[in-house]
Chain A
Amino acid sequence: MKTMLKNLAVGAVAALGLASLSPVAKAEDPIRIGSFLSVTGPAAFLGDPELKTLELYVHQLNENGGLLGREVQLVHYDDSGDASKARTFVTRLLRQDKVDLIIGGSTTGATMAAVPVIEQARVPFISLAGAETISTPVKKWVFKMPQSDRQAARRVLTDMKERGLTRIGLISGTGGFGASGRNVTLEEAKAMGIEVVADETYNPKDTDVTAQLTRIRNTDGVQAVLNFDFGQGPAIVTKNYKQLGIELPFYQSHGVASDSFLKLAGDAAKGLRLPATALLVADTIPDSDPQHGVVTGYKKAYEDRYNSSVSTFGGYAYDGFQLAVQAIKQAGSTDPAKVRDALESIQGYVGVTGTYNLSAKDHMGLSYDSFRILEVKDGHWTLVE
């Protein structure tokens, strides 16, 4: 028994020795990409697919010979949705792990807690969280992948205007996402000449909103209704909308852009429209679409590997990682200042979320029409042409 263990140990040491002679490891130290995500806790539905995506593509990159001839290593911490943990982990990534670049921050809270530490350390940071404040005003070392809620509002209002709907009813949740969505919708509507004639709210945990919807329905001249929130509240609003037999065009925000919403809302969701990324309709997107290849490629890779369906959030991680790879390639090194400059200069990168055109003035790089308008038909999302 003892000799067997000894033999095993000798074998292991020999194997390690051989491995260290292989060309990738010999060339130089690995490139270290740091990450902090909410893989557990209330925001796990964001962090879980994000981490899976990063692991998948880091593995794939190394299989194909790494980056600049070096291996890529992912150093990851789980902040479980807690902003102060996020800050601690980012400090650790910078001081102990000495990472070359950071991708992470599932939530706006975690991202904003990390920003001051990162700005001070001067390391490029790609955030996966949504709020506008992350990239407006521009922070030198901070980039962000998802579109903001303001762009979602503008996308919906543009679609309404194209259909000749200019007097609308707004209903929103009183939580952070809904309240912020309500504000930007009111501002954008004003700028676009759309009148918000009814403005109602509900508690995200409410189980019935028919009273608020009745008020909207009975408002004179209302032509369409928009609900801004995420979670199960919008599913209840959708059911109540159908129950009251309201015939007006109905819109939701990108907060419900997932298949689980369709499962909850059932038949009631028929005909509703929302802004979402092309990823949600990967199967029906035309071949001629510039995003076709990247969207179907990511969907297939993710679903083959993890046996669960892709989400918009994993898509942000995909885009963040690809942008980081492209920037490091372009910079030809991992010098933080050079990588940052390269990130800032990326133009016309076609990703899962949209086409990114980054610049010194825009660290998000997406325009509002990277959101597609989808409509629910026969229980599925379909692209509105």
Chain B
Amino acid sequence: MFSEFFQFTFSGITLGAIYALVALGFTLIYNASHVINFAQGEFLMIGGMGTVVLVGAGLPLPAAMVGALVLATVAGILLHRLAIAPARDADVVTLIIITIGASIFLRGLAQFFWGKEYHALPRFSATESLSIGGATLLTQSLWILSIAVVLVVALAVFFSRSKLGKAILATSMNKDAARLAGIKTQVILGVAFGISALLGAAAGLIVTPITFTAYDVGIMLGLKGFVAAAIGGLGSSTGAVVGGLLLGLSEAYTAGYISSDYKDAVPFVIILAILFFLPNGLFGSRAAERV
């Protein structure tokens, strides 16, 4: 009885931690530019596929990982420079549509150069799973969870302590005022895209031992991550993590206790309910926009 409950919980936490990391990437760009970057899922793909391709080219795993992170960061900065920055005067909806276009483009590139096959990466720890209370938990899930926590804390510190983080916040609150205060807002936005791509790629890399990777994994993970970010309240790092875990747990409990037929429907019902009663999500700011 309890072992069952533990198993569903572990399953939910594994899923949730993945969604949480994706949601964090959405949060960062949303904070900086109020744009929802639908190419976020593609950075996950670049993280996973990039590592696979570099390992295939003969690099040792750690070097391949670093290579993939660099590649994704460059892709993020280029996305801003080539697609977002030229349209800086467009409204937010236009920018969001541009990110959708960019995601299709990146997926096409990956399909063309890296192929359509699915690939796996080895797990980080020697032991595969731990047995707790009659249920098994993958050690890779612990890696994902702890890396998620580290990244959340790092982001929080980055925004509240560092000059760069504060500059990003200032840019997001009022671009013109920030520019008057001497902040190069376009550079700052480019940095935000780079960091968010790095974050996404890190997530894509650490989940690959569990989920496999291919040119099109970004679609599903990106969508679920966006939903998690919306539950948590766009713009809140804590919200992204809580939203991700809630989404993962609700999926696992539904599949386990009710029926696998409903497992994809229930999370969406939960989102509707949350957004209906708390339109800004669980941790979204309730303050009115400052002018």
Contacts and interface: CB of A to CB of B under 8 A. Distances in A.
Interface in B123-174: 128-129, 136, 138
Contacts of A218: 4
A159 interface: no
A214 B212 contact: no
5 contacts: A205-B220, A210-B10, A239-B210, A263-B120, A264-B119
B264 interface: yes
A214 B18 contact: no
Contacts of A202: 255, 260
Contacts of B260: 200-202, 211-212, 215
A243 interface: yes
Interface residues of B, number: 35
Contact of B120 (A201, A210, A245, A266): A266
Nearest first, the 3 closest Cβ-Cβ pairs linking A and B are: A207-B211, A211-B255, A211-B256
Contact of A231 (B118, B119, B136): B118
B18 to A, nearest CB: 7
Given A203-B264, A207-B15, A245-B136, A232 B212 contact: yes
A45 B111 CA distance: 13
Contact of A211 (B8, B116, B219): B8
A88 interface: no
B210 A207 contact: yes
B117 A212 contact: no
In this complex, the member of B118, B219, B251, B252 whose beta carbon has the largest number of chain A beta carbons within 10 angstroms is B118
Contacts of B220: 205
Nearest to A215: B256
B289 interface: no
Interface of A: 42, 44-45, 200-203, 205, 207-212, 214-215, 218, 231-232, 235-236, 239, 243-245, 260, 263-264, 266
A243 B4 contact: no
Contact of A207 (B117, B128, B207): B207
A209 B136 CA distance: 13
A255 to B, nearest CB: 14
A354 to B, nearest CB: 27
A208 B210 contact: yes
Interface in B208-246: 210-212, 214, 219-221
Contacts of B128: 243
A201 B261 contact: yes
Nearest to B217: A205
Contacts of B253: 211
A378 B166 CA distance: 56
B51 interface: no
B117 A260 contact: yes
Between B12, B207, B211, the greatest number of chain A beta carbons within 10 A of the residue's beta carbon is seen for B211
B37 interface: no
Contacts of B116: 42, 44-45
Interface string B191-210: 00000000000000001001
A42 B115 CA distance: 11
Nearest to A267: B128
Given A45-B116, A260-B117, 11 more contacts: A200-B260, A203-B263, A205-B219, A207-B15, A207-B18, A214-B4, A214-B7, A236-B212, A239-B210, A244-B136, A266-B120
A201 B265 CA distance: 13
Contacts of A263: 120
Nearest to A45: B116
B146 to A, nearest CB: 18
Contacts of B261: 201
B14 interface: yes
B99 interface: no
B8 A214 contact: yes
Given A207-B211, A210-B11, A243 B129 contact: yes
A218 B261 CA distance: 18
B63 to A, nearest CB: 22
A237 B81 CA distance: 41
A347 B18 CA distance: 55
B7 A264 contact: no
Contacts of A235: 118, 120, 212
A218 B10 CA distance: 17
Nearest to A240: B11
Given A45-B116, A207-B18, A231-B118, A243 B138 contact: yes
Contact of B118 (A211, A212, A260): A260
Contacts of A44: 116
A214 to B, nearest CB: 5
Contacts of B10: 210
